[in-house]
Amino acid sequence: MMAANAHAPSGAPALEVIGYSKRFGSFAALDDVSMKVRSGSFHVLLGENGAGKSTLVKCIMGYYTPDDGQIMINNREVEIGHPRQAHAHGLGMVYQHFTLVPNMTVLENFLLSRPHVPAVVDWTRERAELEAFLAGMPFTVPLDSAVADLAAGEKQKAEILRQLYLQCRFIILDEPTSVLTPGEADEVLGTIKRMTRRGLITVLMITHKFREVNAFADAVTVLRRGRLAGAGKVADLDNAAMAEMMIGHRDVKQAVDRVARAAGTPVLEIDDLRATDDSGQEAVDSLSLTVHAGEIVGIAGVSGNGQRELIEVLGGQRHAVGGVVRVHGEAYGATRAEMLRHKVACLPEEPLRNACVGHMSVAENMAFRRFDQPPNASGGIWLRRAPMRAAARALIERYRVKTRSPDSPIASLSGGNVQRAVLARELSGDVDLLIVANPCFGLDFGAVAEIRAQIVAARNRGVAVLLVSEDLDEILELADRIAVIFEGRLRHETASCGADIGVIGRAMAGH
């Protein structure tokens, strides 16, 4: 059924959106937004979380119907009420999370995404045809691997190749590099850039990273709170101008200044640690690391290189296969009693899922560490709610958690506030060791600055901090020492002042 794409434009399409508005109840997600993407250009859509970027592209792709406004492709007004219509016009989208089916091979995935699948599939012929298609493409993917076995960069390439395979010539990329190493990101974006140069495709990319805008984009459209905040050619704009369009004028709390101090005694010592992932594959491989009192050790790396398993072992959510973890020189198995005795606090990634019970109240969630100790409990059996709520109120006040009351379920809070609530819980007592993973993932500017300030403040108080983050900028900003994890091993270790970003980036890619 190639007829589905019969009237798709042959070259790279131009796209124009005029006066798009979209309301959800009383909330205006998009308010009179216009955007012009020229044929064969590399256009970037910038904006903070919640600025309306995804609403805009979902309207373009037909997942939402805008309340008002028009869309033009190659200067002709078109109607897009359904994703299949968008597809028929040659519009394709690559999502931030992968949409390929993990338990199927790349070949099966490609075939299934075609509008027409034959009743009985001749795999030999299909493979030959797909290989011929890939031969004409700037990059390739292994056809017979299950998608689950591909590295993140390969998955991203497969997603992009699939859109090209489906004859899409206008491709929307939603933060395509968030899961890639800097090297992989440059390779993928560089190739896409060359394809736009040759007039093969038009690209609209959502991103937060100015570096990518400067290196690859031709033009930029900036959204702020659902409105158009600015647009222009990248050549005419500098980073300061784009940043101001993006965040407007606002007071961002500065990160707490780090106090210069010599590293103290070793608090956390990891020796030759090994752990497996959910499928039984080795995920953490002979990892050794020491964190001293009063320093932040940052572990940089692209997601999926064993960070999750490492944090789970340290947080008591996973058994190590081998190796020793010591805290204060004593063997540490991450039991509740040991965490209490050694004053270990843990802020895992996605705290709502990993460190909270969504249906329980904010006060109850904040009491998880000490609900069974006086004054919250008498005799270790009878719980007292009043002291728990009082303690929660104090923490809510001090860490500025925005919640209607201490009794609201914690799942009703926004991401940043859940993060603050859990951080408040973990830092409220006396802490000697803080383990943090991706603390600012998906938060807005204000929340990011505040959470980072809390972490640095803890370090200044003499807490040993192990920070695992996929955001290299975060590591560079916070850490005293940096180690790079790749395929479960630490590859490169350096003090953060004087760190060579090129070396770190190459270590992240395994070089």
> In whole angstroms, how close is the CB of 24 to other proteins at the nearest point?
21
271 dihedral zone (left: phi>0; alpha: psi -120 to 50; beta) = beta
Confirm or reject binding of residue 357 to other proteins (CB under 8 A). Answer: no
| Binds other proteins (CB under 8 A): choice among 102, 142, 264, 429 | 102
Rg (CA), the chain: 25
> In whole angstroms, how close is the CB of 119 to other proteins at the nearest point?
5
| Binds other proteins (CB under 8 A): choice among 107, 111, 273, 440 | 111
Residues 316, 319, 324, 330, Cα dihedral to 10°:
30
Determine contact, residues 465/297, Cβ cutoff 8 Å.
yes
Confirm or reject binding of residue 174 to other proteins (CB under 8 A). Answer: no
The three-state secondary structure class of 161 is helix
Confirm or reject binding of residue 1 to other proteins (CB under 8 A). Answer: no
Residue 43 identity: H
* Touching other proteins, residues 122-141 (CB under 8 A): 123
Task: Give CA 244 to chain center in angstroms.
Answer: 23
Of 178-186, 232-240, 271-279, 374-382, the segment contacting other proteins by CB under 8 A is 271-279
What are the beta bridge partners of residue 268?
Answer: 291, 327
Site pattern 281..320 for other proteins (x: CB under 8 A): -------------------------------------xx-
Q: DSSP labels for 176-216?
A: TTTTS-HHHHHHHHHHHHHHHHTTS-EEEEEES-HHHHHHH
Give Cβ neighbours of residue 314 (< 8 Å, ≥ 6 apart). Answer: 325, 334, 346, 435, 466
> In whole angstroms, how close is the CB of 321 to other proteins at the nearest point?
9
> In whole angstroms, how close is the CB of 252 to other proteins at the nearest point?
36
| Binds other proteins (CB under 8 A): choice among 81, 280, 380, 498 | 280
Q: DSSP labels for 205-254?
A: EEES-HHHHHHH-SEEEEEETTEEEEEEEGGG--HHHHHHHHH-S--PPP
The three-state secondary structure class of 308 is helix
Would you say 108 or 470 has its CB closer to other proteins?
108
Determine contact, residues 301/488, Cβ cutoff 8 Å.
no
Would you say 3 or 120 has its CB closer to other proteins?
120
Would you say 104 or 503 has its CB closer to other proteins?
104
CA distance 463 to 344: 10
Would you say 1 or 135 has its CB closer to other proteins?
1
Determine contact, residues 392/425, Cβ cutoff 8 Å.
no
Give Cβ neighbours of residue 136 (< 8 Å, ≥ 6 apart). Answer: none
Confirm or reject binding of residue 100 to other proteins (CB under 8 A). Answer: yes
Confirm or reject binding of residue 359 to other proteins (CB under 8 A). Answer: no
> In whole angstroms, how close is the CB of 454 to other proteins at the nearest point?
32
> In whole angstroms, how close is the CB of 275 to other proteins at the nearest point?
9
Of 205-213, 272-280, 367-375, 412-420, the segment contacting other proteins by CB under 8 A is 272-280
| Binds other proteins (CB under 8 A): choice among 24, 67, 121, 333 | 121
Confirm or reject binding of residue 103 to other proteins (CB under 8 A). Answer: yes
Question: Site size for other proteins, by CB under 8 A?
Answer: 25
Would you say 280 or 498 has its CB closer to other proteins?
280
Would you say 31 or 277 has its CB closer to other proteins?
277
CA distance 433 to 342: 8
Confirm or reject binding of residue 112 to other proteins (CB under 8 A). Answer: yes
* Touching other proteins, residues 30-89 (CB under 8 A): 83-84
CA distance 48 to 68: 23
Upstream peptide bond of 375 is cis (omega within 30 degrees of 0): yes
Burial bucket for residue 385 (CB in 10 Å: 0-12, 13-18, 19+): middle
> In whole angstroms, how close is the CB of 123 to other proteins at the nearest point?
7
Which residues of the chain form contacts with other proteins (CB under 8 A)?
83-84, 99-104, 108, 111-113, 117-121, 123, 276-280, 318-319
